[in-house]
Amino acid sequence: MPLHPLRRGASAALALAALALAAPAAGSMPLGRYQVIIANTNPGQNFSPPVLVLHRPGYRLFELGRPASEALWQLAEEGATVAFEALDDPAVHAVVVTPAVHRRDSPVVTTELSAPDGLALSLAAMLSLTNDGFVAAQALALPVAAGASISADLRAYDAGSEANTESCDHVPCEVHGRRMTAGAEGVVSEHPGLRGDADILSARQWHEPVLGRLTIIRLR
């Protein structure tokens, strides 16, 4: 199994490729320009490189009480973004991957992107020291007027694809090669936080549902 994305570090080339994906095509309709600010406000968990999905109404990253998509559980377990980047969904306009949001080194990550009017933005990122935890915000309508902004909490969720063992045998404490699917919940739910009765240090625990903040500002 490859090294965890947070161990490899964020690549500048990745950020440039993401911005190119969201750039306007020649001869297309005028696009709005947006600044996206992702803040990690919790003291213990890093966010893997977040996936930003620009989409039309009707697309959902997940539904509480229903199984996670393959793209989502791969993100939640390993920080993998390949399945999101390969999404073949007519409701999805573009997928952008930003650098990781590290609680100490880079607690706030800002990126810019372009998109036509009428789209929404959803975000998901893996919580670094969990079995299958992730933070997310869903279907935020992009601001219409220049200078307008919208914000939302990044809440903690459980993908339901792995049991919450909190063991380094199954959590990417460094590198691990096993999934623990026995005892998995099977559906997406709100994350209860870490129990702290296994390998994960108490400094990495949390018990509140909100671990970050997403802000979108329309620049023009």
Amino acid 106: pLDDT: 94
Q: Is the CB of residue 43 less than 8 Å from the CB of residue 203?
A: yes
Q: Domains along the chain?
A: 5-24+32-218 (2.60.40.2130)
Structure tokens belonging to residue 72? 């989502």
Q: Which of 193, 162, 200 is nearest to 179 (CA)?
A: 162
Residue 49 half-sphere exposure, CB side, CA atoms within 13 Å? 24
pLDDT in tens, 19-58: 444 444 444 567 899 999 999 999 889 999 999 999 999 8
Amino acid 27: pLDDT: 47
Amino acid 192: pLDDT: 81
> 68 φ, ψ to 5°?
-70, 150
Instruction: Point out the residues of the chain with pLDDT beneath 70.
Output: 1-29, 172-185, 196, 198
Cα separation of 75 and 125, whole Å? 7
Percent of the chain with pLDDT over 90: 60
Amino acid 138: pLDDT: 97
Amino acid 134: pLDDT: 97
Q: Which of 23, 30, 1, 191 is nearest to 112 (CA)?
A: 23
